[in-house]
Chains A and B, each alone.
Chain A
Amino acid sequence: MEALHRRVGRIAEPQILFPLIAVVLLAAMWVATVGIIRLKHTEAEHDAAVLSRELLGTYEAQVVRVLREIDQTLNLVKFWHERNSTQGALSELKDRGLLPPDLVFSVSIADRDGTVVESTRQLGGDSVADQDYFRKQRDGSAILVGKLPQGATGDGKLLFSKRLNGPSGDFDGVVMVAVDAAFFVSGYDAAKLGEHGVLGILGTDGIVRVRRSGESMFSGDALDYASVLPKPDDADAEPPVSRSSWDGVWRWSTAREIYGFPLAILVGLAQEEQLAAVRRDAFVYLSWAAAGSVGIILLMAVLGRMSWQLAQSRLRESESKLEHARRVEYLAYHDGLTGLPNRSMFSKLLAQRISEARRYNKQLAVAFLDLDRFKQINDTLGHEAGDQLLVEVAARLQGCVRASDTVARLGGDEFVVLLPEIEDGKQAVVVAQKILAVIGKAFTLIGHEFRVTASIGISLYPQDGEDEQTLTKNADIAMYQAKAEGKNNFQFYSEKLNANSLERLTLESSLRHALERNEFRLYYQAKRDIRSGRIAGMEALLRWEHPDLGTVAPMQFIPVAEDTGLIVPIGKWVLKTACLQSAAWQNEGLPPLSVAVNMTARQFSDEYLLQDLASILKDTGMNPQLLEIELSESLLIHDVETTLRILTGIKSLGVRIAVDDFGTGYSSLATLQRFPLDTVKIDRSFIGDLVGPSEDSALADAVIAMGKSLSLTVVAQGVETKEQAEFLRTHACDELQGFYFNRPLPAYQFAQLMRAQTADISYVGTRAGLLNPQL
């Protein structure tokens, strides 16, 4: 049942239904047409056969009457002649109107010698003695019917003759009636018989006396009498179509013998003519059928197409409805201008995230963001510019957050950032700072650059609220606080975080200006060769002297610089300064020493690193071989492939590379072997406990051995005691660095140290190489 239903359904589809209908209609039409034609054909055939029989009947009557009249005339003349035995029989009979019409018949009498003694009309010659029939009549007494030679009948006459007897029954001559052969077929009706029907008389001897088709009359053909006449049983049946032997035309023909005469009549209807009408009709019917076919096909095609189009448009309609519905739904949940989720959607999301945070025991942050003085910009530059700004802000905000975070627009210039699944409020701080930084960058509106700032209020789950309303309310309060605090900042609803972040914020803003205010200094710490004790090189260390904060430890400001990205320009400054210094010292005649500069992860991953490095080397004229970049072990192994690529780049500049804090990362020998390193610096943690228990010394040993196995210069960091130095020397460390030997010194002091070394001969050759640590 189901399958049937489906089948029916399939049929109803336009591409099947209409062709199917077309096929059915076409089939029906053609079957009907062919049927009708066949029917008509059969009918016509039947009609023709019947007609030929009918015509035969009529013709028979007509011919018989004529023959009887001829017979009567012959008998009359014979009777008169035999009775009266005088001349002038004919003229007398004629006067009495007893002879058939002159127009067609002529009567003659010939005597026993064959001489024509009387005639109603002049015929042939005077003697008929040599005629066939004359001779026959001499011997017989039946009526004889003459023949004509083969060919067109024309005026040819058929001669009917009878024997005249004398008083004693002896041959006394012949009486003859001559008839135009054409007379016998003068009743040919072309309307019934057509141009190729046949009307004719033939003798029992098979010779055609006359036959007529259309206007042409022929005589003399020899036919097979027996085959022309129908068999006795078939006498009443419909005659079949046969090919007339005298002219090859296919006809329905019948023949019938005339009683009392050695003659038969022949009637035939030409097949082609009789069927011509049917053929014409058939042609018409077929034409109509063809036209109908074309019509049906076109109609079905049109209907099919229309139906298909209807289906298509319905489909399109429903699709567009769906599309419309989707759009409406989208608009219900998204802001039209920026494409960000709108208030309703945010509300839903927040509720969802709160329950998730509850379930997984995480925190989340809601940060309300308001653009400061947006109204002014909108009023000054116009709404179009204002909109542009909002769109750009939306984009930038999205760039500050993770994929799992949500940025939404609440309306006007109010945005909200949802940070789900955070571990700590501090993460929110980082994001808030990023946002402030990113908003702080210039916007290009209507061809000009503008800057805006934002005020951010942050509330945390669960501290500042456990439901949607509370969190949003508190974030809002925090935001107003931020505005009150002078805008372009962020505030937490809870106090504690505020304090920490305030400090951080202060540091950060100071750091931003430190470079331009020249608050940085480079100090140099000497690295000493372990055997000679001579200064083998130096490390450049960054110091920050803030007017208010004082000297800020690198440990304090480097992380902030790293986070804000300020480390990049600062790092560039460091490199440049170090190179300049080195170059300057060489110019003064001091020996060329290597300078090591630290590099952070942020600097290392900066895209312009190699570019900047190259241009610094060029600008300062620094010999790259004297520059050494220090990278911590953990940094190097973070992304081995990228690291390798960058290191190779640095190496190609000719700069040397050192691994810092060696032993604190988890690198394997195999990994380290891949890097193009020059120096390894053992972390101070290994040095600190050297002279203590033997495990630590073994550890340090191992590290040194590792370094040496990599064929690198091994430097020990943080050497502070004589004992440590001693140990290291015995363990084949190459260089030492640390307070024991030299503290980091400002440039001019370091220069003095170098000069002192060069000048003092007592330094040369001293194996201990111990110097006054005070210097």
Chain B
Amino acid sequence: MKTTALSAMIFAVLAANVHAEDIVVIVNPAAKPLSKEQIVDIYLGRSADLTPIDQTVGSSIYVQFYKKATGRDAAQMKAIWSRILFTGRGQPPKQLPDSAAVKKSVAANPNAVGYIEKSAVDATVKVALPLD
């Protein structure tokens, strides 16, 4: 178990270093257009218009997404979601292990919103917002 986790971490780090890829926010093809503010509000727990999906907490895409979208790091996000959870105002986003899983979930749920690498985009999902 430990070795699996360790190698996963190494891989993530390597992956992060090898390609700091462009991330896009994806929604269900049937979903309405979204502004950046709306996406940020959803991912900060301020809005429940859509159901946010996270990738693994602490993973490179996770960190990058939050950095680009909200300007916050992992620790800050943890604090934000802890607070929301603790005060009973909401639940932290569901964590999915990779972009494929995210795509699958978003494609199946018109209320979902997620983020994947730009390269992973396909016809099953709609790009709501590219992040730079």
A interface with B by C-beta (< 8 Å): 62, 65-66, 101-104, 119, 122, 126, 180, 182-184, 186-187
Contact = CB atoms under 8 A, between A and B. Distances in A.
Interface stretch (B12-20, B64-72, B84-92, B109-117): B84-92
Contact of B91 (A101, A126, A182, A184): A101
Interface string B91-113: 11001000000000000000000
B92 A186 contact: no
Given A186-B79, A187-B83, 7 more contacts: A65-B88, A103-B85, A104-B85, A122-B1, A126-B2, A183-B82, A184-B86
A126 B79 CA distance: 28
B57 A102 contact: yes
A186 B45 CA distance: 15
Contacts of A180: 82
B2 A101 contact: no
A131 B78 CA distance: 28
B116 to A, nearest CB: 20
Contacts of B120: none
Nearest to B5: A122
A110 to B, nearest CB: 13
Q: What is the size category of the interface that chain B forms with chain A?
A: 10 to 19
Contacts of B91: 101
Nearest to B78: A103
B72 to A, nearest CB: 14
A614 B119 CA distance: 151
Nearest to B75: A155
Interface of B: 1-2, 5, 57, 78-79, 81-83, 85-88, 91-92, 95
Contacts of A182: 79, 82
Contacts of A119: 1
Contacts of B87: 62, 187
Contacts of B85: 101, 103-104, 183, 186
Given A119-B1, A122-B1, A103 B86 contact: no
B88 A62 contact: yes
Contact of A104 (B1, B2, B82, B88): B82
A623 B5 CA distance: 160
A126 B3 CA distance: 12
Contacts of B79: 182, 186
B51 to A, nearest CB: 13
Contacts of A102: 57, 92, 95
A119 B88 CA distance: 25
A252 B41 CA distance: 36
Contact of B57 (A66, A103, A126, A183): A103
Nearest to A66: B86
A216 to B, nearest CB: 13
Nearest to A65: B88
A183 B5 contact: no
A184 B95 CA distance: 22
B92 A101 contact: yes
A102 B85 CA distance: 12
24 contacts: A62-B87, A62-B88, A66-B86, A101-B91, A101-B92, A102-B57, A102-B92, A102-B95, A103-B57, A103-B81, A103-B85, A104-B78, A104-B82, A104-B92, A119-B1, A122-B1, A126-B2, A183-B82, A183-B85, A184-B86, A186-B82, A186-B85, A187-B83, A187-B86
Nearest to A215: B79
